[in-house]
Structure 1
């Protein structure tokens, strides 16, 4: 397991436990450590980042990360990442008026 994977997995665990601030720090750190050659993993990490922003009630940042992850996953064919993002759609619903959220929701419906 690489340092990037360890950082993001730690962040995901913290996210599951509700510690979204620390989770986001680990996820961001993991993304910075990830080499460009691991694009599928980058998409998953971006989906985790979107989830952490949603827990922090920062829907604009969440939508940006989610849209980037969705575009990447569709470009490289990463169905796991797309499933993760589809799972976030209900969490975005309360923020339909926030910048970037309508565009992300439209992309997930396409």
Structure 2
């Protein structure tokens, strides 16, 4: 297991333990350690980061991060990643007035074509 994987897995555990702030830092650190050859993993890690941000109430930043993950996953045709990102959508539906949320939700239908 690489240091990037370890950092993100720790962050994922922190999300499950209800510690989204600490989780975000671990996940962001893990993402920063990933080489570009691991874009599929980067999309998954960004999805975790978006989830952590969403749980912290950082809706605009979460939407931007989720959109970044979606773009990356669509670009490489990673259907499981797209599904994972799509699972975040219900958490955004009540925040459609927040910057970036409508753009993210609007991009989801076209993700099906990329998968």
Q: Which runs of 4+ in 1 moved over 4 A?
A: none
Distance 1:2 1:41 in 2: 12
Structure 2: gaps (5+ residues):
111-115
Task: Give the aligned partner of residue 83 of structure 2.
Answer: 83
CA RMSD in angstroms, aligned pairs only: 0.7
- TM-score under structure 1 normalisation? 0.97
Alpha-carbon distance, 1:79 to partner: 1.2
Structure 1: gaps (5+ residues):
none
Residues 32-51 of structure 1 mapped to structure 2, 5 A cutoff: 32-51=32-51
Residues 38-77 of structure 1 mapped to structure 2, 5 A cutoff: 38-77=38-77
Alpha-carbon distance, 1:93 to partner: 1.0
* Equivalent residues, number: 110
Task: Give the aligned partner of residue 22 of structure 2.
Answer: 22
- TM-score under structure 2 normalisation? 0.93
Q: Deviations over 1:82-101 (max 9, x none)?
A: 11111100011121110000
Distance 2:72 2:46 in 1: 10
